[in-house]
Amino acid sequence: MFIYNTLLTIIQQGLCYGLVAMGVYISYKILDFPDLTVDGSFPLGAVVAITLINGGVHFSVAMIIAIGAGMICGAVTGILHVKFGISNLLSGILTMTALISVNLVLSGMKVYLPYTEGNLFNNDFINSFGAYDVYGNILVLVIICIVFKIIIDLFLKTKTGFMLRAVGSNEKMCVSMGRDSGNYKILGLAMANGMVAMAGAVYSQWTNVYDNNSGVGMVVIALASVIIGTAIFKNLRFVKGTTAVLVGALIYTGALNIIIAFGVPSGYLKLIMAVLFAVILILNNSVLSGGKKIKNREKHHA
């Protein structure tokens, strides 16, 4: 029974983190932009959603507004980098740092803030599942992930989406085509952080509480999910990047929960996240890169 409940938790939490991973997939994998704004935009989405829902706004409207708030933050990071020449890392750090105060102000200077009204996981539909409401939660999360995955996939097939890819892979080519690569960077970062803020809104409704520290280490979880997913499916062309990072999020979340299930105190969670991410990076750089080197040698000798 314990294993079964842990599995259900992994699926729900992993799908929430999968939404973050899809956002970071846009900034990190598509734009090649290591964006640290994530650690601030995640709790921003949560506090915006919880404040509006507690104020009587329907949760669907609250989530849309949360997405808009996240997009503004991503755009700010992009503007700092593009218009003012601040490095990508520093521009993300500046926005993330500013959001610490913004989130506290929005939450009324409270670190924790509980929901008092119905939300995405507390409504007539979920309640209709009765004692099996966890299955309703999973169904809602799966639908949300699929919808946003399809939206991202379709967008990346548009002309703007192709230009976004071009900026990340070969910015000079984009400039040579007479396009302003900076505007595409701002757009991409706005989209990425809009996704992350939406994930924060979903996650806070799932846990039924806003935690101002919930964004700490979120970029680590997202990057690990992206790296795991893309590494596993790198040779399977038919698997979309968005699908890969969703699977990566489930695997990484599963690993974290399994480690904690062995009795490791929750206070060590961030340390475990960092160590696990370091192991993933080492394996990705040594094992996978080593495999590429071997293939290159074989081709050379052939």
Nearest to 209 by CA among 137, 120, 104, 114: 114
When pLDDT is cut at 50, 70 and 90, the band that residue 295 belongs to is very low
Determine the angle formed by the axes of helices 38-54 and 218-232, rounding to 10 degrees. 110
The CA distance from 42 to 32, in Å, is 20
- Token digits of residue 6: 């842990």
Beta strands in the chain (DSSP E): 112-114, 209-211
19-33, 93-107, 115-129, 282-296 — which is least confidently predicted? 282-296
When pLDDT is cut at 50, 70 and 90, the band that residue 288 belongs to is low
130-155: per-residue pLDDT in tens? 999 999 999 999 999 999 999 999 99
Residue extents of the structural domains in the chain: 2-301
Rounded average pLDDT over 64-84: 98
Burial class (CB in 10 A: 0-12, 13-18, 19+), 87: exposed
pLDDT computed for residue 301 by the predictor? 44
- Single pTM value for the model: 0.91
The CA distance from 259 to 85, in Å, is 42
- Token digits of residue 162: 């192709």
CATH number assigned to the domain covering 2-301: 1.10.3470
Phi, psi of 171 (to 5 degrees): -65, -35
The CA distance from 237 to 262, in Å, is 37
167-171, 252-256, 259-263, 298-302 — which is least confidently predicted? 298-302
Rounded average pLDDT over 107-121: 92
- The answer to whether residue 160 scores a pLDDT higher than 90 is yes
Q: What percent of the chain has pLDDT over 70?
A: 95
Rounded average pLDDT over 16-34: 96
32-41: per-residue pLDDT in tens? 999 999 999 9
The dihedral sign for the CA sequence 86, 90, 93, 98: negative
The CA distance from 67 to 42, in Å, is 10
- Token digits of residue 105: 């102000």
- The answer to whether residue 262 scores a pLDDT higher than 90 is no
The CA distance from 261 to 263, in Å, is 5
C-alpha angle 135/20/116, rounded to 5°?
55
pLDDT computed for residue 302 by the predictor? 43
166-196: per-residue pLDDT in tens? 999 888 877 777 788 999 999 999 999 999 9
What residues contact 28, with CB distance under 8 A and at least 6 apart? Answer: 34, 35, 222, 223, 226
